[in-house]
Amino acid sequence: MNSTEIVSQIKSIIQKQFENESTGHDWFHIERVYNMATFLQKSEGGNLEIIELAALLHDVSDHKFNGGSATLGGDIAFEMLINLNYSSVKAEKVREIINQVSFKGANVEHLTSSIEAKIVQDADRLDAIGAIGIARAFAYGGNKGRPLYDPSIPPVLHDSFDAYKNAKSHTINHFHEKLLLLRRKLNTRTAINIGNERHEFLELFLKNFMNEWNFSQ
Ligand code: ADP
Ligand code: NI
């Protein structure tokens, strides 16, 4: 199977699987990450086929919804590729990327071992900030029944993946616990340039949100 065939097969499987997802991991998120990753590859390099597959498969199993496993996603992606008779060496690369991409807490180190992993991670992170990132955060909070904001609950910068994934807070805290930190965690120059603009929009949003919250005449 050539590169175009495997990518289009995985695309149609994932599109079907994610069409009805409402937790911020809908097909359109995957599609945006895929488009951004291929855009980043043009200036940053890396193997396009591996980047395309990892972008399409990066959320195939999410630790927030799979009982907490950080490695099941990579394993599922690997199996899917092998079942389509894909090369096991390349499928292994895709598995490795998927297991490295996810955000695991403010003070937890996020290692990426290849340019392909750095690009997919950047593309995923760019989709968590800016106007779309804001919309996704409140969609996620609403799905979990969380309040928009509660001034009595301050943010926590988590030291472990366990602490981060078990935290229950309001959505404004998510900005301080993750979204505002992402700019400094972007890997590639091209993503940093895009991220800077999206980050400024997050700050403007928070400023206006707080002004409206504390409105007094
Ligand atoms: P990604 O798909 O970018 O890897 P996640 O799987 O961590 O991101 O989360 C999916 C979306 O939901 C992201 O936009 C993320 O910022 C948002 N999200 C995750 N956890 C929370 C939370 N506790 N509160 C609000 N939004 C969240
Ligand atoms: Ni994602």
Would you state the structure tokens that stand for residue 214, as one six-digit string? Answer: 């504390």
Q: Measuring from each residue's beta carbon to the nearest atom of ligand 1, which residues come in under 6 Å?
A: 24-25, 59, 62, 102-103, 124, 127-128, 133, 136-137, 140-141, 171, 174, 178
Q: Which bound ligand lies closest to the C-alpha atom of 141?
A: 1
> Are the C-beta atoms of residues 164 and 106 closer than 8 Å to each other?
yes
Tens-place pLDDT, residues 46-75: 999 999 999 999 999 765 556 656 678 899
Q: Whose CA is nearest to atom 7 of ligand 1?
A: 103
Task: Output the 3-class SS for 63-96.
Answer: CCCCCCCCCHHHHHHHHHHHHCCCCHHHHHHHHH
Would you state the structure tokens that stand for residue 60, as one six-digit string? Answer: 């195939």
Would you state the structure tokens that stand for residue 33, as one six-digit string? Answer: 């990450």
The structure's pTM equals 0.90
> Are the C-beta atoms of residues 130 and 191 closer than 8 Å to each other?
no
Average pLDDT, the chain: 90
Tens-place pLDDT, residues 169-197: 899 999 999 999 999 999 999 999 999 99
85 vs 40: CA distance, rounded Å: 28
Tens-place pLDDT, residues 9-34: 999 999 998 887 666 578 999 999 99
φ, ψ at 38 (rounded to 5°): -70, -35
Tens-place pLDDT, residues 125-164: 999 999 999 999 999 999 899 999 999 998 888 777 777 7
Greatest pairwise CA separation for the chain in angstroms: 67
Q: How far is CA 63 from the centre of its chain?
A: 12
> Are the C-beta atoms of residues 116 and 50 closer than 8 Å to each other?
yes
Domain coverage including residue 124 = 3-213
φ, ψ at 199 (rounded to 5°): -65, -45
Instruction: Identify the band that residue 2 occupies on the pLDDT scale cut at 50, 70 and 90.
Output: confident
Which residues are close to ligand 2, an ion, with C-beta < 5 A? 59, 124
Burial class (CB in 10 A: 0-12, 13-18, 19+), 116: buried
Give the chain's domain count: 1
Q: How far is CA 134 from the centre of its chain?
A: 13
CA end-to-end span of the chain? 67
On the question of pLDDT at 200 being above 90, the answer is yes
Measure 113 CA to ligand 1 centroid, in angstroms: 23
Q: Which CATH number does the domain housing residue 90 bear?
A: 1.10.3210.50
